[in-house]
Chain A
Amino acid sequence: MSRAYLVRRLLLAIPSLLAISIILYTILALAPGDPLGELTTNPNVPPAVQAALRAKFGLDDPVWQRYLHWLLAMLQGDWGFSFASQENVETLIMQRLPVSLALFGCSELLAILVAVPVGVLAAARPYSLFDQVANTLAFIGFSLPTFFTGLLMIVLFSIKLNWLPFVFRSDLQVTGLAWWWAEIRQSIMPVLVLGLALGASLVRYVRSSMLDVIRLDYVTTARSKGIGARRVMLRHVVRNGLIPVVTLVAVQLPIIFGGTIITEQIFRVPGIGSLLIASVLNNDTPVVMGVTFVYACLVVLFNLIADLLYVWLDPRIAYR
């Protein structure tokens, strides 16, 4: 991969981020009322202070000026302060981002570990019993809403069997190995719920991608040279068939983040998803805007990574 491509791709991400920030700000500006002006419309604040605040935040400027103001402040890391907790939005988000990313990473890993072998085996014998069972299970998997599977797991594993805790705690009182054990125990259900939902839709992608590759001439050649079916599959088919899956995972991301938000909410995981919902319920506009923007940035970032990975994995793709 050439450095020029890397730079060009990085530069290409900037217009999309700008466009996303414009969309977000337009929504905010179109919204009725004065969502960012909580203090300035609060009747307990004296009028003189209100006017001063309005001037300070530039609430009476034209929209484009306010947008530039907001954008510049966001770029400098000044994301405002939360109405609810009076804390800086960026500290709030930074405290919670690692948990969300860990949950997302573990679930994606589980999804790949389940989906790739199943998809490959299903593609090795299309329309066999295994393929049909896998296909039906995949349909069931992505038709089950994550909030329902979450509740079902809580009923089964926490309430009926009493195996696992159903509230995620960030204030564990133990240290060392015991801490790890408690952390793993409380992470099992969120990761399972999200990972299986992701895996179910991934299985179908993997299978169809494998089937596209199996038809190619070089696979027939490999087979006709007398290479065993297993070796052909692993060495020739899987390696190339997984390349498109990388992009498909990236395209799925915006939907996946929805899943993390719900999972965090059900299991009370202290990530940015549960922060978002709490702030929406508290009318805490700066936090809502901040978290939404972080999600948008994450999507753009992961798309970028997927694009770079794609070029790295598949040298046939010309960098334009």
Chain B
Amino acid sequence: MSGSIPASPTVEAVGPAAAAAARATASLSPSREAWRRFRKHRLAVVSLAVLGALVFGVIAGPLIWRVPIDAIDFSAMLQGPSWAHPCGTDSLGQDLLARLIYGGKISLAVGVAAMFVAVGVGVAIGAIAGMASGRIDAAVMWITDVFLALPQIPLLLLLIYLFRPALRSMLGELGGVFVLIVVVIGGLRWMPLARLVRAQFLSLREKEFVEAARALGASRMRLVVRHILPNALGPVIVAGTIEVANAIILESTLSFLGLGFPLDVPSWGRMLYDSEDYLQIAPHWALFPGMAIFLAVLSINFIGDGLRDALDPRRVI
């Protein structure tokens, strides 16, 4: 550290008091230690509570709020929030709260599932590139760079447009679209993770503990799975968390463009798409799903930021 303003608080910068505190907590287990660090990021803790409430509402909501999502009531069209309909109704008089709860389940499920696809592909490709050096590494990274240069949304639209009819007839309306959206979003978002994992592998595989394991006769597979991967996990968890937020935005974008989920599956983006023509008379219809997307994405992003602080062992907080 040569300059006078540090980018992050470090041992030297925060002085002996924090160093002593760090020594005092040295006996905690890694997950307890991570939690202790995570709690220091106030906005991340608040976000965890908000996201927890959202997830709880989406899972337990249907048990408490028993209005069906498709009960058409022409006497209550486009109404604002009231006691009977806390979030108002849409142009068919359907209850928006029930639809929000249902849509949340879909949006969050797509986000998590697409994250797992992206992380799975990214970790596998990054690990291959990081372990195999030379030509394979260069070839894999070139492919990664080409994928990075692909325009995402146009390609997403193209893929959905070309494959939706076939998958729909194979897996049904909801299942087909769900699988397609998850695979396509995951398949277009693995590149940053692959680069991250590769960079981690390149530095970790030269470390002494890996050398020691190799000297003890550990196979290549065992080296990767038992020794290198667990140590590369911190940044992957952070990137994966933020990937959930990205996937939620991408899914709502597709649905908002009318190319995601069909009419009878009200995901949050789809609700916004339907509300677009009624902005003048029923702005609440757009406001609630939009706020839901925003809250979910914002809280996930803040949690990712908190995890970044918590899982980076070089930071002292």
Contacts and interface: CB of A to CB of B under 8 A. Distances in A.
Nearest to B147: A23
B43 interface: yes
A296 B150 contact: yes
Contact of B297 (A27, A143, A261): A143
Contact of B3 (A219, A265, A289): A219
B150 A20 contact: yes
Interface string B248-261: 01001100111100
B252 A214 contact: no
Interface string A154-166: 1100010000000
A270 to B, nearest CB: 16
Contact of B146 (A23, A142, A148, A258): A23
B272 A148 contact: yes
B263 interface: no
A151 B252 CA distance: 14
Contacts of A65: none
A89 interface: no
What DSSP secondary structure best describes chain A's contact surface? helix
A33 B165 contact: yes
Residue among B150, B166, B258 with max Cβ neighbours from chain A (10 Å): B150
A134 interface: no
A254 B150 contact: yes
A180 interface: no
A177 interface: no
A117 interface: no
A31 interface: yes
Contacts of B279: 151, 154-155, 159
Contacts of A126: 5-7
Contact of B149 (A140, A159, A262, A300): A300
Given A31-B162, A126-B5, A215-B3, A159 B283 contact: yes
A299 interface: yes
A143 B166 contact: no
A220 B294 contact: no
A132 B163 CA distance: 45
A19 interface: yes
Contacts of B287: 152
Given A143-B298, A148-B272, A254-B150, A215 B259 contact: no
Residue among A148, A276, A283 with max Cβ neighbours from chain B (10 Å): A148
Contacts of A211: 5, 7
A159 B287 CA distance: 14
B96 to A, nearest CB: 15
A257 interface: yes
B158 A27 contact: yes
A147 B256 contact: yes
A291 B153 CA distance: 12
A183 B151 CA distance: 28
Given A32-B166, A217-B2, A27 B159 contact: yes
B204 to A, nearest CB: 23
A254 B253 contact: no
A215 B283 contact: no
A214 B162 contact: no
Residue among A32, A33, A159 with max Cβ neighbours from chain B (10 Å): A32
A50 interface: no
B257 A262 contact: yes
B293 interface: yes
Contacts of A219: 3
Interface string B285-317: 011001001100110011001000000000000
B163 A16 contact: no
Contact of B163 (A32, A223, A298): A32
Nearest to A303: B149
Nearest to A146: B253
Contacts of A216: 2-3
Contacts of B252: 145, 147
Nearest to B290: A148
Nearest to A216: B3
B5 A155 contact: no
A215 B2 CA distance: 6
Given A151-B290, A215-B7, A262-B253, A292 B272 contact: no
A16 B145 contact: yes
Contacts of B290: 145, 148, 151-152
B154 A292 contact: yes
A3 B275 CA distance: 55
Residue among A151, A211, A262 with max Cβ neighbours from chain B (10 Å): A151
B155 interface: yes
Contact of A215 (B5, B158, B297): B5
22 contacts: A23-B150, A24-B155, A32-B163, A32-B165, A126-B5, A143-B301, A145-B249, A152-B290, A214-B3, A215-B2, A220-B4, A257-B152, A258-B154, A262-B153, A276-B154, A277-B257, A277-B259, A281-B259, A288-B158, A288-B161, A292-B154, A300-B149
Given A27-B155, A31-B163, 6 more contacts: A27-B159, A31-B166, A32-B163, A145-B252, A215-B5, A298-B151
